[in-house]
Amino acid sequence: MNSNTRPQHQVLIIGAGAAGIATASSLLARAPGLDIAIIDPADTHYYQPGWTLVGAGVFSPESTARPLASLIPRGVQWIKAAVSAFEPEANCVVLADQRRIGYQQLVVCPGLKLNWGAIEGLEETLGRNGVTSNYRYDLAPYTWKLVQELKQGQALFCQPPMPIKCAGAPQKALYLSCDHWRKTGRQGQVKASFLNAGAVLFGVPDYVPALMEYIGKYAVDLQFGHNLVAVDGPARQATFARTLADGSRETVVRPFDMLHVVPPQIAPDFIRNSPLADAAGWVDVDPASLRHRQFANIHGLGDVTNTSNAKTAAAARKQAPVVANNVLVALGRLARPAVYDGYGSCPLTVERGKIVLAEFTYGGKLAPTFAPWLLDGRRPTRLAWWLKERLLPPLYWRGMLKGHEWLARPTLQADTSAP
């Protein structure tokens, strides 16, 4: 194909979420005037980490949404369309309307797909019959409505198999709801259960003791190996596939008055069916450089990659400068590649006003931002809540999305050219 017959950009970014906009801004901060285009069909950009607090009545939903057009960096072309396919050998992507857009360097960060349809009966009952989820903008307010109105009965909180974005979010909903019921004298009347498809409460063991204290404090029925497979909203029944110790499975049906669902999560269809995907459907990148393992001029970051870090906005905040740097190395604009260490952060809201601030890199190695005497992330603190409620939203809108790399400057590889 003659590249002159199609639009061509120095850098093409798939996805205008946190990762995509932050990468574009970090690129421009290093190379003003770079020819960048972002492809995304959405009208609205969401600050998704805020939805946990919407579901607890702390944030308004409107405060977590802004028009996408207002966030595209100046000088970046926005192509308002969906991608349908990749042609990496031809250095182009195919849009849903069959247009082809060429690139020198491609950055892939469209996020992941919430697979609501994988749970039988769920889509028909979401937002009614006591079935809610903080994983959707329009449903998080319903979570808070249910929490306020529930006087007694069974409240079920679910977590699907990994990977999911913000692995702590399912239990954040649990803790904040239980905190409200406890403070309003309803803890004995409302029986809360946390049904986790996995085998541990949290993947980094250092944070589990503090979390278990709250499981006990709220008298939560904690069940592992329970994966939600079906919901009957009108009958108020949830069906779980339970994995037994010998590896066999059985079906468990639980009644509910409130059900907080976290859907299974997979890569978007156009990623899973592309040459960019690994066997599990995720974009196949080197975990340190975030460059594609097969195609040297393709980079990936955010929730869509197969790296083992936690899928959080904090991870994207650290990844974006690494990718920006490495794209410019590939273009010959910079000399030294940058390295991503797997940093992710999960502010676990254990009660209104206190947070266990989990910060860790690849392998679950603790990576605290602050000295322990100031903020010990392994213990619930009011300072961590203040960071989550007051500091992180402006850090996101005015820092990360604008290319200000506060607390996110990338680590460069050591220069080995010297004798």
* Catalytically annotated residues: 166, 346
Q: Strand pairing of 258-260 and 131-132?
A: parallel
Token pair, residue 67, equals 């028009």
Task: Count the Cβ atoms, other than its own, within 10 Å of residue 121.
Answer: 18
Which amino acid does the sequence have at 339?
V
State how far Cα 212 lies from the chain centre.
24
Burial class for 92, CB neighbours closer than 10 Å (0-12, 13-18, 19+): buried
Q: Which of 238, 233, 150, 167 is nearest to 201 (CA)?
A: 167
Q: Helix or strand or coil: residue 107? A: strand
| Structural contact between residues 130 and 153, judged by C-beta atoms closer than 8 angstroms | no
Could you tell me which of 143, 123, 139, 115 has the C-alpha nearest to residue 258?
A: 143
Running DSSP on this structure, what letter comes out for residue 64? G
Tokens coding 73? 């960096």
Q: What is the bridge-based pairing of β-strands 237-243 and 226-232?
A: antiparallel
The 3-state DSSP class for residue 413 equals coil
